[in-house]
Amino acid sequence: LSCFEGVQQAPPDPILGITDGFLKDTSPQKLNLGVGAYRTEEGRPLVLSAVRKAERMVVDDATRNKEYIPMGGNPQFCALSAALAFGPDSDCSREGRLATLQALSGTGALAVGGAFLARHYQASKAIYLPVPTWGNHHGVFGSAGLVVRPYRYYHAPTRALDYAGLIADLGAAEPGAIVLLHACAHNPTGVDPSPEQWRGILRVVQERRLLPFFDSAYQGFASGDLDADAAALRLFASARGPGGRPQELLLAQSFAKNMGLYGERVGALHVIAACPQVRGRVESQVKIAVRQMYSSPPIHGAAVATAVMANPALSAEWQAELASMAGRIKAMRAALVAALAEAGAPGSWDHITSQIGMFSYTGLTKEQCIHLRDKWHIYMTLDGRISMAGVSHKRVRYLADAIADAVR
């Protein structure tokens, strides 16, 4: 008998489970719209040309070794990541109020930030998450020791932001509570607040003295423009509260999507503090959390991202490739709406083109998603979310015919 006899089987991961089903499906027509990773028109993963070149530079650099890097990671990577997120001349950076640590992609940054808050943030242990949100937020923050609470976000009947519900829920949150905000391209809905709505969210955050924790997994992927997609984050980062007190916040930044570095686990955790003294103390405690969890981050992926960002030619090439990925996704949105009209699918599908980012929240019911899977070999999460990156000119009519059949 095993000493682990009492261990129960864990439920399958809802997203990885989709890929399992897809791989087992023998139909030549099968289509995987579950994965949150970019695909080319041919349906293949993409390594960006700028990344390939940077990687070659890193590998060929004979001055590099494999020694440990500091707990906070590669300092040049941290400085360039901060400039990417907050802009090249941000107040928080110039005033010494910004702590930046390299992290194991976005998830690792969320986990370290969550662990730091659970241990050292006094005002509240509650973190408010939008409904719906990326599924892993619950697990990451729950296991960090925070108490997860919901705030209204998506309004299904209008397929738009439930702005009134959001403001009401955050306005009733306990003072000092943490609030998770998707910086852009909200996952899974593709619905973002307007610039004016972001100002309203900042107002309620300041009134209730909430602590914003931004999750930025898609900078550059929503619009194709790195600066445009950072606008909401920068609005908060440059805000001042009563008496000129700088707005404090956390940011989990991922390079998985925008540099296509998924498996390299490249990201950063940033904390903006009100003054350099507090920033120093916070940074020291975040480093302790890192030390206890994994000691120090890996060197390779961050070195590649650094080489891309530090080299003007590679950086320009990267941004052009990023714009082209975002452009293909936007083109697929338009193509799907047109194909749905041709297929005679009842109802309005305009939300597919108004939503942004990697995903579209189609509004299909669970039963319709199961119908698509069982009859049409189309795989997606059962909440109706499809990855637009999985769509191509070649397959869009098949997808539209299938959706039209499912909703009829």
215 in active site: yes
Q: How far is the CB of 15 from ligand PMP (least distance, A)?
A: 8
Distance of closest approach, residue 101 Cβ to ligand PMP, in angstroms: 15
CA 292 to chain centroid: 25
Determine the distance from the C-alpha atom of residue 154 to the mean position of all C-alpha atoms in its chain, rounded to a whole number: 17
Residue 263 phi/psi, 5-degree rounding, is -80, -10
Query: How far is C-alpha 77 from the geometric centre of its chain's CA atoms?
Result: 19
Q: How far is the CB of 102 from ligand PMP (least distance, A)?
A: 13
Q: Tell me if 134 contacts ligand PMP by CB under 6 A.
A: yes
Q: Quote the least distance from Cβ 362 to ligand PMP, whole Å.
A: 17
Residue 107 near ligand PMP by CB under 6 A: yes
Q: Based on the residue annotation, tell me whether 257 is a catalytic residue of this protein.
A: yes
3-state helix, strand, coil in the chain (%, to 5): 45, 15, 40
Side chain identity at 107, as an amino acid letter? T
Selection from 249, 363, 294, 325 nearest residue 40 by Cα: 325
Q: Minimum CB separation from ligand PMP for residue 383, in Å?
A: 14
Q: Which whole-number Å values give the CA distances from 148 to 130, 151, 293, 312, 330, in the listed order?
A: 10, 10, 22, 42, 33
Between helix 163-171 and helix 195-207 the angle, nearest 10°, is: 10
- Tell me if 121 contacts ligand PMP by CB under 6 A: no
Which candidate in 257, 287, 349, 376 is catalytic?
A: 257
- Contact call for residue 217 and ligand PMP (CB under 6 A): yes
Q: With binding defined as CB under 6 A, does residue 254 bind ligand PMP?
A: yes
> Is residue 106 near ligand PMP by the rule CB under 6 A?
yes
Strand partners of residue 359? 387
Instruction: Annotate each residue in 196-215 with x if it binds ligand PMP (CB under 6 A) or - if it does not, as one string.
Output: -------------------x
Are the beta carbons of 182 and 130 closer than 8 angstroms?
yes
Q: How far is CA 152 from the centre of its chain?
A: 19
Where does this chain touch ligand PMP (CB under 6 A) — which range of 105-113, 153-161, 168-176, 327-335? 105-113
Say whether residue 36 binds ligand PMP (CB under 6 A). yes
105 belongs to the binding site for ligand PMP (CB under 6 A) = yes
Bridge partners of 31? Answer: 378
Q: Of 24-32, 99-107, 274-282, 288-296, which segment contacts ligand PMP by CB under 6 A?
A: 99-107
| Active-site annotation holds for 198 | no
Contact residues: ligand PMP, CB under 6 A: 36, 105-107, 134, 182, 187, 215, 217, 254, 256, 262, 267
